[in-house]
Amino acid sequence: MKAVRVHATGGPEVLQLEDVPTPSPGPGEVLIRVEAAGVNFIDLYQRAGAYKVATPFVPGQEAAGRIAALGAGVTGCTVGDRVGCYYGGLSGYAESAIAPADKVVPLPDGVTTAQAAAVLLQGMTAHYLACTTYPLRPGDTCVVHAAAGGVGLLLCQLAKRCGARVIGTVSTAAKAALARAAGADEVIRYTETDFAIEVKRLTGGKGVQVVYDSVGKTTFTAGLGCIAPRGMMVLFGQSSGAVEPLDPQVLNHRGSLFLTRPTLGHYVATRAELEQRSGDLFRWMQEGTLRVRIDREFPLARAGEAHAALAGRGTTGKVLLVP
């Protein structure tokens, strides 16, 4: 089969399409014939060496397709079932991938494999952010950075579903339009306006209850100044680079703030959580109340271009690899 492998960390050029043996599922595992694989920032961090992974490796933690084979002891699914999977060891940039059976979820009618590969990691991230890390309530106001990105567009929709007022930040007029269509009540173009000052103006100087920050280095410090006393900074990514070390006393001076650095794995740690979050997403998609935007699709041979597109922050929605 064909798979994208990384033999040494570096730029997008280290992603090489190669012929490798098709793996066989072991006990408790399934083999997925991949129809679409999600491209995510964690893949870029691993490829570049920011997150350490033993080489050589096949990137990709998110994919969807059909079950091609079952390992010993697997129950509850059959060959041919349409499934999606988010799993740290998936190796999804390939024509086939092995996954633990308890990490795959069945796809309901009306949800395509492309949509599933586009929504699992980013959608469940938006779900835990809005529903669990800081559970938004009617009357709350939140800031969503990168509001036109893959997580951002989903998070805007879920935040509105919770009854919150949403202030999104974006870089261009086109992205502003997408964020508004996803439910953002106000959109700040940070390339033209100091977002921290504008957030304070929009909230009458009170600040917001929570900032959802996937950007990191260039937004974090200013974002702390947007938060109301006893509010929360949720730092869940670092697309602009890692945040500088922080003196915790800053949180006191800013108003007894809370700071968390969550990751999806801790929020789908049990089968019940995985089924709840993915099930909610799929149900809302079936109802038409959650829209998943796929920005573009690349063949496996152009995985480097897919990484460059995501790193350039020119995408709006999900980037997929299609074997």
Which tokens sit at 48? 């570049």
Q: Which CATH architecture has domain 137-261?
A: 3-Layer(aba) Sandwich (3.40)
**pLDDT for residue 312:** 87
Please give the C-alpha separations between residue 285 and each of 260, 282, 289, 292, 321, in angstroms, as whole numbers.
Answer: 29, 5, 6, 8, 21
| Cα 157 to Cα 181: distance, rounded to the nearest angstrom | 9
Token pair for residue 306? 């897919």
pLDDT score for 315: 83
**Residue 191: per-residue pLDDT:** 87
Strand 104-106 relative to strand 82-86, pairing? antiparallel
What is the per-residue pLDDT for 313?
75
pLDDT along the chain (323 residues), means of 10: 98 98 97 97 94 96 98 96 95 98 96 97 97 98 95 97 98 95 96 94 98 95 97 93 93 97 96 97 96 96 96 86 97
Residues 216, 243 contacting (CB under 8 angstroms): yes
> Which letter, b or e, does each residue of 58-87 get, where b requires 16 or more Cβ atoms within 10 Å of its Cβ?
bbbbbbbbbbbbbbeebeeeeeebbbbbbb
pLDDT of res. 230? 98
pLDDT of residue 239: 85
Residues of the chain with CATH 3.90.180.10: 2-119+271-322
Could you give the CA distance from residue 105 to residue 110 in angstroms, rounded to a whole number? 15
CATH class of 2-119+271-322: alpha beta
At 210, the amino acid letter reads V
Report the Cα 231 to chain-centroid distance in Å: 23
Residue 317 CA to residue 293 CA, distance in Å, equals: 5
Position 276 scores a pLDDT of: 97
Q: Is the alpha carbon torsion for 284, 287, 290, 296 positive or negative?
A: positive
Q: Which residue has the tokens 């900074």?
A: 233
Q: Which amino acid is at 254?
A: R
Distances (CA, A) of 172 to 168, 189, 191, 290, 313: 12, 6, 8, 23, 11
Burial label, 271 (beta-carbon count in 10 A; 0-12, 13-18, 19+): exposed
CATH 3.40.50.720 in the chain: give the residue spans. 137-261
**Are the beta carbons of 65 and 113 closer than 8 angstroms?**
yes
d(CA 319, CA 188): 24
